[in-house]
């Protein structure tokens, strides 16, 4: 492990914490050369299915490895300036990844990943859901966006009557 401050390779681990639910280990380290303290995060690498990108005709165009950062970027754009913690975003990504692994398939269509993300965003924050839906569902005009919002309101009304 290299120190991010001086680049030295001699570091000492002062604290280790593991999170079994997220399959990662957090280590607090101290550089033996400059004394800088920093944190590293080790994630257990689990085999993820390949993501199949499809063309407009539904036929596969290309296959690419699953990219956690790409999913995170899309979610963070939808959640921009919303009261959603980074931890909540990480939990959503962890849930998506767990569902992908549990599918047991070697390849998954990209739109299936999008469906998992949009379902999670819908539970997390309705504004973030609408932002993501505009792109993912291809809502191309205000009428389509309005219909989706009206659908959310109708479901909200149905849920509130069930709660009574």
Which tens digit of pLDDT belongs to each residue from 75-131? Answer: 999 999 999 999 999 999 999 999 998 998 999 999 999 999 999 999 999 999 999
Residue 108 has which token pair? 């998954």
Is it the case that residue 162 has pLDDT exceeding 60? no
Q: Does this model's pTM top 0.75?
A: no
Where are any strands of DSSP class E within 3-125? 11-19, 24-31, 37-43, 50-54, 60-64, 107-109
Is it the case that residue 19 has pLDDT exceeding 80? no
128 exposure class (CB count in 10 Å sphere: 0-12, 13-18, 19+): buried
Residue 64 has which token pair? 């690419």
113 exposure class (CB count in 10 Å sphere: 0-12, 13-18, 19+): buried
Residue 65: name the closest of 82, 39, 47, 87 by CA.
Answer: 47
Is it the case that residue 160 has pLDDT exceeding 70? no
Q: Is the dihedral of CA 140, 142, 145, 150 positive or negative?
A: negative
């Amino acid at each position: 492990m290299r120190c991010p401050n001086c680049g030295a390779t001699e570091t000492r681990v002062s604290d280790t914490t593991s999170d079994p639910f997220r399959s990662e280990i957090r280590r607090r380290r101290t550089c033996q050369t400059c004394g800088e303290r920093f944190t590293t995060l080790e994630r257990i690498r689990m085999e993820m299915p390949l993501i199949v990108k499809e063309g407009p005709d539904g036929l596969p165009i290309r296959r690419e490895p699953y990219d956690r950062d790409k999913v995170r970027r899309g979610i963070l754009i939808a959640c921009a300036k919303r009261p959603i913690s980074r931890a909540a975003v990480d939990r959503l990504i962890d849930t998506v990844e767990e569902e992908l692994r549990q599918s047991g398939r070697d390849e998954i269509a990209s739109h299936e990943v999008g469906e998992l993300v949009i379902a999670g965003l819908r539970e997390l924050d309705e504004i973030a859901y609408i932002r993501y839906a505009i792109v993912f569902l291809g809502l191309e005009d205000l009428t389509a966006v309005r219909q989706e919002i009206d659908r959310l309101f109708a479901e909200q009304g149905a849920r509130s009557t069930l709660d009574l």
